[in-house]
């Protein structure tokens, strides 16, 4: 069913906002959650992000795929203070564009991942646009504090975004400007440590069996059966499947590392059937055009369709399947060191978080209430 999405004018503590209201919808919520400045407001009971014309147009364009976007009741704020988003895009000062291009080239020459290049570039752009009234050479520690207090904290942006900005700005000034800003002046918030989201085996089976489409079922099944990240699945080539050894080779994944993961007989047979039916040319899973990898957004849509068919209302993401793979391995008795290798974690501490969501031992604990 198509959504009816309303955009309304709102404000909170002096900040002009775009309030987004619609009936509960996992796909739309996941999309908004990924937008840098967007968050759920308990006070307004709506998804909100700071007002700017660019944000306004982006929300309309992004949410149209889910239904009708009604902004007839929206009133554009007037008399706003410094607005970062309105200054971006085509109006970006030439000096800032030049500095950002140098920064991108430097990161790319050092083989930073595409995601890191994009994240740091956006963070530094936001910082420089905020101080576009000053030359880059004149920006000081006080300006970093000003940005932190009067933009990040004022707009209640996330701790993770704050850390991205601090890390990006630190690297930019150190490598491009050949000087250091004292980032220690900015109070670094403690990172939240949420537990990984895990599905039961019954829920996983419902999701994997939901699709009648062979390619869709094979993609989701391979993510769960091998604990793959989304990018790892989409970057696979047929030559990475070593059927004789029952192994799959994950090449140049996070941290530029290769690793091998065992293939079960069941998933191997599914891949053989898929290969005979589709005969992929370059990538194991290709899009509509031969030789092009399957689109990331399309893969997300494949999962959303499976959730709807399986009638699972949880906000499941593709990464939940990876978390579930690790947790189910742990519950079946697999040594934590092996799980670390299978997931490609550099540190065992990263893998140890799954011990907190494994229910095998916890369910055996008898509450003292039962012995009263």
Q: Would you please indicate which residues are annotated as catalytic (active-site) residues?
A: 229, 254, 319, 322, 345, 354
Contact 136, 92 (CB under 8 A): no
The sheet that has 15-21: what strands, in order across it? 39-41, 46-50, 15-21, 3-12, 67-70
Reading the block at residue 54, the tokens are 């660019």
Reading the block at residue 323, the tokens are 């978390």
H helices of 227-345, where? 230-234, 265-278, 296-310, 318-331, 336-343
Contact 22, 6 (CB under 8 A): yes
Angstrom distance (rounded) from CA 290 to CA 356: 43
Q: What angle do CA 115, 120, 124 make, to 5 degrees?
A: 150
Best CA proximity match to 86, nearest among 152, 148, 132: 132
3-class DSSP state of 20: strand
Angstrom distance (rounded) from CA 236 to CA 249: 8
3-class DSSP state of 293: strand
Q: What angle do CA 321, 327, 329 make, to 5 degrees?
A: 105
Handedness of CA 63, 66, 72, 74 (dihedral sign): negative
Angstrom distance (rounded) from CA 330 to CA 357: 10
């Amino acid at each position: 069913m198509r959504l009816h999405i309303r955009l309304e004018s709102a404000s909170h503590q002096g900040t002009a906002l775009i309030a987004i209201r619609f009936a509960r919808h996992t796909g739309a919520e996941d999309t908004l959650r990924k937008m840098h400045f967007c968050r759920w407001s308990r006070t307004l009971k709506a998804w909100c992000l700071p007002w700017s014309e660019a944000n306004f147009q982006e929300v309309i364009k992004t949410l149209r795929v889910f239904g009708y976007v009604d902004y007839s009741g929206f009133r554009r704020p007037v008399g706003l203070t410094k607005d970062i988003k309105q200054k971006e895009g085509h109006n970006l000062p030439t000096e800032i564009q030049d500095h950002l291009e140098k920064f991108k080239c430097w990161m790319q020459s050092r083989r930073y991942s595409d995601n890191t290049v994009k994240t740091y570039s956006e963070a530094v752009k936001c910082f420089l646009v905020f101080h576009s009234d000053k030359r880059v050479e004149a920006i000081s520690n006080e300006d970093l504090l000003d940005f932190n207090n009067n933009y990040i904290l004022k707009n209640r942006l996330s701790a993770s975004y704050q850390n991205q900005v601090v890390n990006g700005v630190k690297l930019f000034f150190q490598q491009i400007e050949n000087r250091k800003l004292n980032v220690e002046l900015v109070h670094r918030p403690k990172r939240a440590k949420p537990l990984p989201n895990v599905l039961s085996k019954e829920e996983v089976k419902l999701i994997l069996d939901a699709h009648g489409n062979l390619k869709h079922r094979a993609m989701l099944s391979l993510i769960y059966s091998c604990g793959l990240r989304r990018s790892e699945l989409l970057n696979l080539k047929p030559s990475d499947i070593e059927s004789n050894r029952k192994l799959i080779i994950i090449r140049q994944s996070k941290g530029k590392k290769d690793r091998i993961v065992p293939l079960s007989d069941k998933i191997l047979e599914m891949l053989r059937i898929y290969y005979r039916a589709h005969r992929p040319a370059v990538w194991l899973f290709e899009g509509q055009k031969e030789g092009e990898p399957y689109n990331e957004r399309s893969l997300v849509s494949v999962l959303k369709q499976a959730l709807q068919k399986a009638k699972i209302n949880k906000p499941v993401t593709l990464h939940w399947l990876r978390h579930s793979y690790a947790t189910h391995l742990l519950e079946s008795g697999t040594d934590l060191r092996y799980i670390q290798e299978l997931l490609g974690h550099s540190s065992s501490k990263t893998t140890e978080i799954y011990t907190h969501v494994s229910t095998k031992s916890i369910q055996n604990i008898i509450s003292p209430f039962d012995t009263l």
